[in-house]
């Protein structure tokens, strides 16, 4: 029987979770099956259950791993002794890098989270809302300090997050600029658009 291929830095569960993220992005969570996942990792479907309990557990892991990673970064940025505009730039760069480097996981956490079941669905929804509120508070701080134009902070955050989620089309593009250039361009457009 085939074994899940790993290296010393990655567990079998991590290999399965990464493959699940790619599969959920390709087919959507609902349409993806454990049989599809087994094919993707090169094992029998039954052997997946030695490492995970269910497809639901995989979606939970993907969504909360991403959400927790974003929230940890938010806490770090909030506590930096820099201007609001510098904090916003750090957050934007982080979001862009996550979309470039961990695309499948970020995509799934952004689009497929609605398939979580309660209490996880409510918890995840609250975590997303809390993250946006914290981001909005940084923009409001910049407005109060006159670093940022007098705009609706919640709308600014919505525009920023939606622009970054548009990197999905960059992944599909056959003629794309390199990731560093993409990041530079997006930071220039998004940050300079806020700056007073």
Break the chain into its structural domains and give their ranges: 12-48, 55-194
Name which residue leads in pLDDT, 54 or 63: 63
Distance, CA of 161 to CA of 78 (rounded, Å): 18
What burial letters (b/e) apply to 113-140, b meaning 16+ CB within 10 Å? bebbeeeeeeebeebbeebeebbbebbb
Among 1.10.10, 1.10.3470, 2.40.50, 3.90.180, name the CATH number for the domain at 12-48. Answer: 1.10.10
Reported as a pLDDT band with limits 50, 70 and 90, residue 7 is low
- Identify the pLDDT of residue 8: 60
Distance, CA of 188 to CA of 177 (rounded, Å): 15
Q: Is residue 9's pLDDT more than 70?
A: no
Reported as a pLDDT band with limits 50, 70 and 90, residue 191 is very high
User: Architecture of domain 55-194 in CATH?
Assistant: Orthogonal Bundle (1.10)
């Amino acid at each position: 029987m085939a074994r899940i291929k790993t290296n010393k830095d990655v567990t079998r569960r991590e290999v399965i979770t990464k493959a699940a993220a790619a599969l959920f992005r390709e087919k959507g969570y609902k349409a993806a099956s454990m049989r599809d996942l087994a094919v993707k990792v090169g094992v029998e479907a039954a052997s997946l259950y030695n490492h995970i309990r269910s497809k639901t557990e995989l979606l939970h892991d993907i969504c909360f791993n991403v959400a927790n990673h974003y929230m940890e970064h938010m806490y770090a940025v909030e506590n930096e002794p820099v201007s609001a505009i510098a904090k916003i730039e750090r957050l934007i760069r982080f979001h862009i890098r996550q979309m470039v480097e961990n695309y499948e996981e970020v995509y799934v956490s952004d689009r497929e989270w609605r398939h979580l079941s309660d209490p996880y669905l409510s918890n995840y929804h609250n975590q997303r809302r809390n993250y946006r509120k914290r981001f909005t508070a940084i923009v409001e701080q910049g407005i109060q300090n006159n670093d940022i134009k007098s705009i609706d902070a919640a709308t600014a955050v919505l525009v920023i997050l939606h622009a970054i989620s548009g990197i999905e089309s960059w992944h599909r593009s056959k003629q794309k600029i390199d990731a560093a250039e993409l990041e530079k361009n997006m930071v220039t457009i998004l940050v300079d658009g806020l700056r007073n």
